A and B are shown apart, each in its own frame.
Chain A
Amino acid sequence: MSEATPERAEILRLEGLEKRFGAVYALSSVSFAVHRGTVTALVGDNGAGKSTTVKIVAGVERPDGGALHFEGAPVGFFSNPAEAAERGIQTVYQDLALCDNLSIVANMYLGRERRSGPRASFLAQLNQLDMEQEAGPVLDRLGIRVPPLTTPVASLSGGQRQAVAVARAVLWGSKLVIMDEPTAALGVAQTRMVLRLIQQLAHNGLGVIVISHNLQQVFEVSDHIVVLRQGRTVGDYAKDEVTPDQVVSDITGVSGGMFA
């Protein structure tokens, strides 16, 4: 989010990613780039390699070939999620990974609590008020409206939970946020709210990767659309230069499409 770099500078570039599970090629050639301030949608059929690609970027899986550039520099690969997080990559998984019995602010700072006093975690005191004070503006900046931050996550709606999970990712000065099927379990109004949130993230200068099955949403929210099929990139478009039919035929591999 630093203002010094050009607004739409490239933040992530994947070149010829390969990943084998035994004799099976999960990825054989995945290449695309993500820019700051834009939303890149990753689409494809089940087993096309979307999840594997995202896991490599998040440091969960290590690829067998290809290259990964982050902020213009080759980084080799992230050997664990913490390493990716350190560089500013945060993933919001489908199950959100929230603790329902803890408050909104406790979830946002989970594992990285502000503390005062001695450093040993057994005796250090949580600095609850500072956390609450800092979390407020982050939520405001994203246009997220939730109940008081001391409310347990258990009492939030599905969309609000998604918002809290996203806010947690953003709180840590992340530069690239990956969202896996962010609207899959939501109703209409909640889906609207989350789509607005995705665009707000890009508007705030972050790079965003969204995995989605819903082409209508993809066209509504994204700036770039990357299509994967059988482990390779088969389409990479700016949204304005492609039609849903073209994307569908890329996904299915049936050229011409049924409406041609």
Chain B
Amino acid sequence: MSEPDLPGNRSDGAEESGASERRGVFRSLFSGGDLGLLPVALALIFIWIIFQSTNQVFLSPRNLSNLVLQIAVIGTLALGETLILLIAEIDLAIAQFSGAAAALLAVVSVDLGWPFWASIPVVLLAGALYGFAQGTMVTRVGVPSFIVTLAGSLVSLGILLALLAQQGTQLIYDPFILGIASSYVPGWAGWVLAALVIGTFFITSMRTQALRRSKGLTVPPVATVVVRVVALTALVIAIVLTLNAYRGVPVAGILLVGFVALFAYITKSTPYGRHLYAVGGNGEAARRAGINVTGLRLSIFVLASTFAAAGGIIGASRLGAASTTSGGANLLLEVVGSAVIGGTSLFGGRGDVYGALIGALVIGSVENGMDLLGAPSSTRFLVEGAILLAAVTLDTVLRRQRLRAGRA
């Protein structure tokens, strides 16, 4: 908040708004430092064109279906990380804890022999408790989240190793748990889902339009609404057609999109979500407005770790086991990368949960495409690192643009 109080910034801001009309729409968008999901969507299309031109298999139904399963874990964790980033914190334990959750699931399901309807809730609850512990350290004790979650990552690895001390890798046999990442809904069910998505979007758009008109508020042009509905319809139909050409829409994909849609609603349309953005944008202003800032931040830590547990369950289902490498390797980098590539600012208050989905698609596509090319891990890491760096650089540059335009 301190920057825009400078007189220089103010006058810059005034000139900015006056001059922007003369510039092109794109230019004025860029100078405002707010690009939304446009760059990442373009990047995704670019990546797909590159990989498709080098290997015809890339855009085949089978590979895209596989891609959906690949991003189910990354996307679920990235959703949790996005919520954390929105309040200007970070969770470095999210990947490693998902491994610990997978191990816990294996122990509870196999060693204790609990049925899925008991083991899955227990693991999710453990995630919530773990998030409560991390969140308490950050919000009540005041230790920086960077340190708390860095320590948490080591603790999670310790828990994972302790849980799997005997066997190293624990196979899971519960058919329901295995089914999460290996089942597909039948073709007709995919179309029913598609119809539901399109119908809901169409009806809410129309209702908002009608309500705004009846209340005498400014109404966006009908053309934009039509374009949006048509674009979404085309996209959804293309997705379902493609996935049905292989085995149908994967259940794990439906889960991921469901999580994202639910949290898109919560973050954009509820007071809780509004307060979440307020706390990320200006914590002191939120506090003075009577928002329970500590409680809200704590609840976000609980949610993030619960998503980590959910991601761990999906990962264990996909692998058919929990192993000492679950949640390790470069998963953390992929998760933070997905959230940031999806347009969520590391500085808090900017971004949205759809970004997590698209960011995960970008990361997943790069991995998948590289694997198809038979590229060695070294190349893969280099490319992923470069993409992550580019995304963070863009975020930083855009933030400086905003500051310069008096729009901190």
In the complex with contacts A100-B407, A133-B215, A154-B407, A110-B286 CB distance below 8 A: yes
Contact flag A101-B349 (CB < 8 Å), given A133-B217, A155-B17, A187-B7 = yes
CB A16 to nearest CB in B, in angstroms, measures 29
| A115-B211 contact given A97-B285, A133-B216, CB 8 Å threshold | no
B5-26 contacts to A, CB under 8 A, are 5-7, 10-11, 13-14, 16-17
Q: How far is the CA of A112 from the CA of B286 in the complex (A)?
A: 11
Q: Is the CB of B10 within 8 A of A158?
A: yes
Inter-subunit contact A111/B212 (CB<8 Å): no
A101 / chain B contacts, CB cutoff of 8 Å: 277, 280-282, 349-350
Contacts of B405 in A (CB 8 A): 155
Known A122-B270, A125-B269: A95·B5 in contact at CB below 8 Å? yes
Task: Say yes or no: B271 contacts A124, CB within 8 Å.
Answer: yes
Q: Given A185-B10, A186-B10, is A126 in contact with B212 using a C-beta cutoff of 8 Å?
A: no
User: Closest Cβ of chain B: how far from A178's Cβ, in Å?
Assistant: 13
Are A157 and B32 in contact (CB-based, < 8 A)? no
- The reply on A24 being an interface residue by CB < 8 A is no
A100 touches B17 (CB 8 A): no
Given A110-B289, A122-B272, A98–B215 Cβ distance below 8 Å?
no
The docked-state distance in angstroms from the alpha carbon of A106 to that of B275 is 10
Total interface residues in chain A, CB < 8 Å = 41
Cβ–Cβ < 8 Å partners of B243 in chain A: none
Residue of B2, B266, B269, B290 touching A82 (CB-CB under 8 A): B290
B281 in complex: contacting residue of A99, A126, A133, A156, CB < 8 Å: A99
B402 contacts A by Cβ under 8 Å: yes
Given the interface pairs A122-B266, A126-B271, A158-B13, the reply to whether A97 lies near B408 with Cβ below 8 Å is: no
Please report the C-alpha to C-alpha distance between residue A102 and residue B34 in the assembled complex, in whole angstroms.
13
Residues of B within 8 A of A186 (CB): 10
Give every chain A residue within 8 A of B282 (Cβ-Cβ).
Answer: 97-101
Select which of A98, A113, A187 is within 8 A of B11 by beta carbon: A187
Q: Which of A95, A113, A148 contacts B274 (CB 8 A)?
A: A113
Number of B residues whose C-beta is below 8 Å from A?
Answer: 47
Chain A nearest Cβ from B211, distance in angstroms: 5
A99-B349 contact in complex given A110-B278, A111-B289, A112-B290, C-beta closer than 8 Å: yes
A-B contact pairs, 18 of them (CB 8 A): A81-B288, A95-B284, A97-B1, A99-B286, A101-B282, A102-B274, A110-B289, A112-B289, A113-B274, A115-B270, A115-B271, A154-B407, A155-B13, A158-B13, A158-B14, A161-B4, A185-B7, A187-B14
- Contact of A187 (CB < 8 Å), options: B10, B218, B270, B281: B10
A97: chain B residues within 8 A (beta carbon): 1, 282, 284-285, 288-289
User: B285, A98: Cβ atoms under 8 Å?
Assistant: yes
- Distance, CA A11 to CA B330, complexed state (A): 64
Closest to A82 in B: B290
Task: Summarize A's interface: helix, strand, loop or mixed.
Answer: loop
Point out the residues of chain A lying under 8 angstroms from B11, CB to CB.
187
B291 on interface, CB distance cutoff 8 Å: yes
Bound-state Cα–Cα, A132 to B11, Å: 28
Whether A190 is near chain B, meaning CB under 8 Å from some CB there, is yes
A130–B212 Cα gap in the complex (Å)? 9
Choose among B34, B217, B277 the residue with the greatest number of A CB atoms under 10 Å from its CB.
Answer: B217
Q: Give chain B nearest CB distance to A184 CB in angstroms.
A: 9
A155 and B32 contacting across the interface, CB-CB below 8 Å: yes
Smallest distance from the beta carbon of A173 to chain B beta carbons, Å?
A: 16
A154 and B12 alpha carbons, distance in the complex (Å): 12
How far apart are the CA atoms of A128 and B217 in the complex, in Å? Answer: 11
Beta-carbon contact of B10 and A126 below 8 Å: no
**In whole angstroms, what is the CA distance A124 to B32 when docked?**
32
* Cβ-based interface call for A121 (8 A): yes
User: Which residues of A are found within 8 Å of B270, using beta-carbon distances?
Assistant: 115, 121-126
CA distance A122 to B32 in the complex (A): 31
